[in-house]
Chain A
Amino acid sequence: MTVYAGLAAAPGRASGKAYVIRNAEDIMTVPAGAILVLRILHPHLAPLLPRVAGLVVEEGAILQHATTLARECGIPAAVGIRDARSLFRDGELLEVDGYTGKVSRGTSIDP
């Protein structure tokens, strides 16, 4: 099992199908319950958050956009997963551990 380590940005655990934001138009078709994979979570994307299960963000630090928003909404988030948009494909099952900042494919993350 491959586990990608980033920073824990917002607590909680979530799993779902990956949905990768690559272009502006991708934000118009976000599936409900998705694990959103994107370069950076800007505030203008906030209205999409209630429909997603988790967040995987390429850029980010403890004090960046994704942290504040994800914590406010209670959405598990891992930030600083470099090249996440290349690593993950739309539709593949991901698990996000917002306590540790780890993201894994397909199977459960070890406690």
Chain B
Amino acid sequence: MLDEVKQVGNMVQAAARSAQPYRRHILGLPLQRSLFGQAARAATTIGLPGLASELDFPARLDENGDLFLDRSQVAALTKALPSWFTPETLELMHTTHVAACDALVDASENAARVAASLSSAARKLSEDLANRMALVLAYGILSKFVPDVLLRALADAGDVEPPPFPEKSAGAELMQNTFALYQACCALNYTPQRLQREWPRVAPEVFHLVREFCNRQTGFGPLAWDAPGYEDPNYVVGLLHSAFTEVDAEQVRRRLSFAKRPAVTPSPAGVRTKIAALRRVLGFWLDFLERETWYVRRAFYVGMIPLLQQLAAGYRQKIPPFQLADLLFLDIRELAAGFADPAVIHARRQRYMENTEYLSLRGVDPGRLATMLGSP
């Protein structure tokens, strides 16, 4: 296992071609791109205070939404991390990581609850939510190499157990829930083909089933907010069609029963060994890997959109033709400051709409921004 991990280095090798982006077109909307701009600052609060003072955050996004990694910074961070691992610092790392994720979920739900009754506080709340998203995004970048560092540290410490994979991953849960939706629709005589053919003019109970599913699974989807995901019934109906047309239901059930993984010996409760601490930290990272996009995407759809709707009302009074989607073309500092220059917004929106490679890659059609914001 260790040799395999040593071979990996996908990220480092890719970053070696420093003039080339590590990933192209990952984010297109200026508002979401600007959260990455907060990543360097966020690095100081991810539970690695001793390192953050020496090392810059190794990732940046350019104006095209291309992600660049600094190979030297990735290598330096990868090299420096293990010497920092003690039971105490690992505990700090773990609690900080868990707190960042929990705080984002709480902030999202809170924004959803109070947005409609806010006026001036909407701006502050949106900034706060954005900062929490930026922090989790930073963890998303670190997740490309920190888990491997932790696994190596475990091997070096003499651990011989399999990696502490989650009992049931977020993807596995999603798979089961999607299959349950498929079965429920079939029970109401809506095969995936019929559902796709007739949506949205379907029986009310089927319509309700799909909408409820979308509400519960909002957050699953691509990292880019503007790319359709599970919040969109059309996406879900299409996915049901793709996933369950011409499949053997028994085969699906077998696969949903999930392969047995080797038993993992739990660390003795309360024993503060380095191995136990490493396994605990790594276990949360492995769970986080399956949810990192969910956290940020759900925060946008559940929390940020209601706040943007509140903010847009104020902008419309100042700039009569202002559209809700225009807010997506501000960066977070501009949003927090109440900035709105129609010419700047127009130019950014035009550039976005002309980036056909990005739009095609992410499945963004011309009406997508209005649809995703719930504004006609």
Contacts and interface: CB of A to CB of B under 8 A. Distances in A.
A47 B178 CA distance: 6
B164 to A, nearest CB: 10
> Looking at chain A's contact residues, is the secondary structure mostly helix, strand, loop, or mixed?
helix
Contact of B241 (A25, A28, A60): A28
A69 interface: yes
Interface in A42-75: 42-51, 59-65, 68-69, 71-75
Interface centre among B148, B171, B293 (most CB of A within 10 A): B171
A81 to B, nearest CB: 10
A24 B4 contact: no
Contacts of B362: 24
Given A23-B363, A59-B10, A62-B4, A51 B148 contact: no
A63 B148 contact: yes
A37 to B, nearest CB: 16
Given A24-B362, A61-B8, A62-B163, A50 B251 contact: yes
Given A61-B148, A75-B255, A44 B174 contact: yes
Contact of B175 (A24, A27, A50, A82): A50
B1 A62 contact: yes
A47 B174 contact: yes
A68 B290 contact: yes
Contacts of B151: 62-63
Interface stretch (B117-125, B224-232, B344-352): B224-232
Contact of B169 (A29, A62, A72): A72
Contacts of B221: 44
B264 interface: no
B243 A44 contact: no
Contacts of A73: 172, 175, 255-256, 258-259
Interface centre among B241, B259, B285 (most CB of A within 10 A): B259
Contact of A43 (B163, B169, B227, B252): B169
Interface in B134-179: 147-148, 151, 163, 165-166, 168-172, 174-175, 178-179
Query: Which 9 pairs across A and B sit closest by C-beta, in order of nearness?
Result: A24-B363, A43-B171, A46-B171, A74-B259, A47-B178, A61-B8, A50-B252, A46-B175, A63-B147
Given A42-B222, A43-B171, A68-B169, 15 more contacts: A24-B362, A30-B242, A44-B293, A47-B178, A47-B243, A50-B175, A50-B256, A51-B252, A60-B10, A62-B4, A62-B151, A63-B163, A69-B290, A73-B255, A80-B10
